[in-house]
Amino acid sequence: MSWRLNAGLLLATLSAATTANGQAGGFLIQGRVTVVGRTPPSRSKDNSSVVVWLKLLDDSMRTSAAPVSYNRSARLQLVQKGKRFEPHLLIVPVGSTVDFPNHDPFFHNVFSLFEGKRFDLGLYESGATRSVRFDRLGICYIFCNIHAEMSAVVLVVNTPYFAISDRQGEIRIPNVPPGRYLLKVWDERSLPRLLDGLTREVTISQDSMSLGDIRVDEKGFVQAPHKNLYGQDYVPPAPQGSVYDHR
């Protein structure tokens, strides 16, 4: 009888730790982003590249089956290829290291002088890789000091619970333990005051696993040209075939 009782308690515990979505120790949180005012307009609606993350406010409801894990050991990359950074947008938990391999047949430089981690990796050749540990929260706008058209964003957050919307606007954040969270939203083409207005508290539980509809407004955004590493305008392109090969 005792064995059967203990087995029953164990089964009930495991069942409670597995949600209706089949996520062991946490819930699959879903939501939908709708972007308005995006330019240039396209025939098919594009709601992609909006970041949503959840920062735990109160750990009193967190289950021991799902401890917070930042997975800082994962090797993340921003690849330089075709005079582009791939991917353009990368979300990393604070303390993560990102590699910047140069896959182009010419030199690149990677730098960031904005909010978040500030760094300059210098000039390095094809096939080389340099790395940065992102140990400061914030938004890192990243550029190449040679090629003005290259840009990327690394968003450093203090939570493992984040997602980037797809073209349909779908958001999916797996394995979120129950509790109270602060919901934050970021979009590269939305004004900060509009994004601040989307911040709100949410409670995640068996009965509340949806973030609902999130409306992101990009009206009023103007893309300004950025300066180089030294705060100056970029110089004209080098001749074709040089090791800097702008064009």
- Judge whether 193 and 164 are in contact, CB under 8 Å: no
Reading the block at residue 103, the tokens are: 């896959």
Q: Which residue is associated with the tokens 């993350």?
A: 53
More confident residue, 92 or 239: 92
Per DSSP, 65 falls in state T
- Higher-pLDDT residue of 70 and 223 is 223
Mean pLDDT of the chain, nearest integer: 83
**Other C-beta atoms within 10 Å of 139: how many?**
17
* Alpha-carbon gap, residue 39 to 89, rounded angstroms: 18
Query: CA dist 66 to 14, 19, 50, 204, 221, Å?
Result: 12, 12, 26, 14, 39
**28-64+159-220, CATH topology level:** Immunoglobulin-like (2.60.40)
Q: Return all residues near 152 (Cβ < 8 A) that are at least 6 apart.
A: 78, 85, 87, 88, 89, 90, 141, 142, 143
- Residues of the chain within CATH 2.60.40.420 domain(s) are 69-158
At the fourth CATH level, which superfamily is domain 69-158?
A: Cupredoxins -  blue copper proteins (2.60.40.420)
Q: What is the DSSP letter of 227?
A: P
In which band, very low, low, confident or very high, does the pLDDT at 232 lie, cut at 50, 70 and 90? Answer: confident
Residue type at position 92: V
Query: So what's the pLDDT on residue 27?
Result: 96
